[in-house]
Structure 1
Amino acid sequence: MGQINVVAEREFAAPPGQVLELVADYAETRAQLWPENITGYRVLAGGKGAGTRIGYRLHATKKRIRDVTAEVTAPDESTLVEADQNSTLRTVWRVLPQGDGSHVTVTTTWTGAGGVGGFFERIFAPIGVRKLWNAVLDNLGTRL
């Protein structure tokens, strides 16, 4: 078993506050940003920023599907953390100023499986997760 890290980044012409507001809107905006490898998305509590709870199925690969129930925290004004309550899966959104716009970094980490299954997970799951976040960032760019 080992830690798996997946990072996706994007720059946007919009100010950080506007970007973070959309990212933190789990009730409406986030539901519209998900690509097809997220199914069953629902807001379980809250809906905006810290204190929100969300659930969904993450299809990292065709055979690797995780049921996620995430609790959202905001450790500082530029960061949202989505911590799965069922596993070690954590996604950190960081939105920082970049020139006249914003730089968004999405980092997802989890403790991978051991053995042969873990070997394939370390190779293929990051590809699927990176594809997911790039699609979300593409959709976010369209919204901005």
Structure 2
Amino acid sequence: MGEVRAEARQVVPGTPQAAYDHLADLAKRRALLPEAWRDLAVEQGGRGAGTVFRVTLVAGGRERQYRMALEEPEPGRRLLERDLGSSLRTTYTLEPAPGGGCEVQVVTTWQGASGIGGFFERRFAPRALAQVHQALLANLAAALRGGEPG
């Protein structure tokens, strides 16, 4: 076993606060989700810390359901989503970009499996999930430009 990590980053138009608002508000985020994220259902809250939601991820030929809790360790700058049933954690970090806009970094980590399954997980899952993150960031950029997400 060991930590598995998938990461993506992109500069999007607008301010960090505008990007943060789209990510922290699940009604807005629902419109940003690429096809790999399905069946998002809010159980509690819906915006910011204390929100609990269910979502299904289809990536790399696998489907996995998550029950996530949203936290705001640094409101306006950092969001943390943690799966209530596993070690999976996704952090969104937003910073002003030099030259304008906002740099958004998405990092997901989890404790990988052991054995041969773990080998393939460490080899292929980060790339597949990074592509999902990149699609979300592209949709966020489109929404902040005033266009339709992807």
TM-score range, shorter chain: over 0.9
- In 1, are the aligned partners of 2:10 and 2:137 still within 8 Å (CA)? yes
Q: How many residues in Structure 1 have an aligned counterpart in Structure 2? A: 142
Note the C-alpha offset of 1:32.
Answer: 1.1
Q: Give the unaligned 5+ runs of structure 1.
A: none
Cα distance between partner residues in 2 of 1:91 and 1:41? 16
Note the C-alpha offset of 1:55.
Answer: 0.7
Q: Which runs of 4+ in 1 moved over 4 A?
A: none
1:9-48 to structure 2, matched below 5 A, reads 9-26=9-26, 28-48=27-47
Note the C-alpha offset of 1:13.
Answer: 2.5
1:71 to 58, 69, 72: 69
Note the C-alpha offset of 1:41.
Answer: 1.2
What is the TM-score normalised by the length of structure 1? 0.94
What is the TM-score normalised by the length of structure 2? 0.91
- In 1, are the aligned partners of 2:12 and 2:140 still within 8 Å (CA)? no
- 1:123 match: secondary structure: helix
Note the C-alpha offset of 1:74.
Answer: 0.5
Q: Which residue identity is paired with 1:11? A: V
Q: Give the unaligned 5+ runs of structure 2.
A: 145-150
Q: Which residue identity is paired with 1:88? A: S
1:142 equivalent in structure 2? 142
Query: Is residue 84 of structure 2 the alignment partner of residue 85 of structure 1?
Result: yes
Identity of aligned residues (%): 37
User: What is the root-mean-square deviation in Å for CA atoms of aligned residues?
Assistant: 1.0
